[in-house]
């Protein structure tokens, strides 16, 4: 198993490679302290579950994982009281849910991480992803973000069983 380690210092390392990254605007918290909407990245090791990408924004990422194209109606439920909390949904949706089809480019590539998904615990955090960073690497809502080129390079090495770690 390979672990891609994102630190609060703003760097992600794997093997001998080190790339700039951003993490949550709320810093990093233990997974037990993580709460929906706190903007914190959950400390711990989270398996890579899936890769999603906008096929209208670039080629399918090369990876040991299959990648699924994001559609304009795709979303992710962030309503803690909803039975689909921390699960993919289809818009329109009656509860609060993030749109995966974004115009800002941050979700051109999305790596779904296995935080709070087995089992899902209401209000313990949803939609913890690794995705594309903004040009200024502004903090995320709790995810880890990399330059799209760096994310594509990382995914070339990713294989089933690999994980992303948030470390202090």
DSSP 39-55: -PEEEEEEEEEEEEE-T
pLDDT tens, position by position, for the chain (168 residues)? Answer: 999 999 999 999 999 999 999 999 999 999 999 999 999 999 999 999 999 999 999 999 999 999 999 999 999 999 999 999 999 999 999 999 999 999 999 999 999 999 999 999 999 999 999 999 999 999 999 999 999 999 999 999 999 999 999 999
Please report, for residues 62, 125, 134, the alpha-carbon distance to residue 35 in angstroms, rounded to integers and kept in the order given: 33, 5, 24
pTM of structure: 0.97
Other C-beta atoms within 10 Å of 162: how many? 20
Report residue 94 as tokens.
């009656």
Q: What is the DSSP letter of 151?
A: H
Distance CA 32, CA 83 (A): 21
Is 77:97 a contact under the CB 8 Å cutoff?
A: yes
């Amino acid at each position: 198993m390979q672990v891609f380690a994102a630190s609060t210092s703003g760097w992600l390392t794997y093997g001998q490679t080190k790339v700039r990254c951003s993490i949550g605007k709320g810093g990093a918290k233990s997974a037990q302290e993580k709460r929906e909407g706190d903007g914190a990245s959950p400390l711990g090791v989270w398996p890579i579950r899936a890769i999603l990408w906008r096929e209208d924004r670039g080629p399918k990422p090369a990876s040991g994982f299959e990648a699924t194209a994001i559609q304009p109606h795709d979303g992710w439920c962030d309503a803690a009281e909803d039975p689909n909390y921390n699960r993919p949904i289809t818009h329109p949706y009656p509860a609060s849910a993030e749109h995966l089809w974004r115009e800002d480019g941050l979700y051109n590539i999305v790596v779904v991480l296995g935080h709070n998904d087995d089992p899902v615990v209401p209000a313990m955090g949803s939609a913890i992803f690794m995705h594309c960073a903004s040009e200024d690497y502004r903090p995320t809502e709790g995810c880890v973000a990399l330059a799209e080129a760096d994310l594509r390079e990382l995914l070339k090495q990713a294989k089933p069983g690999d994980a992303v770690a948030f470390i202090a």
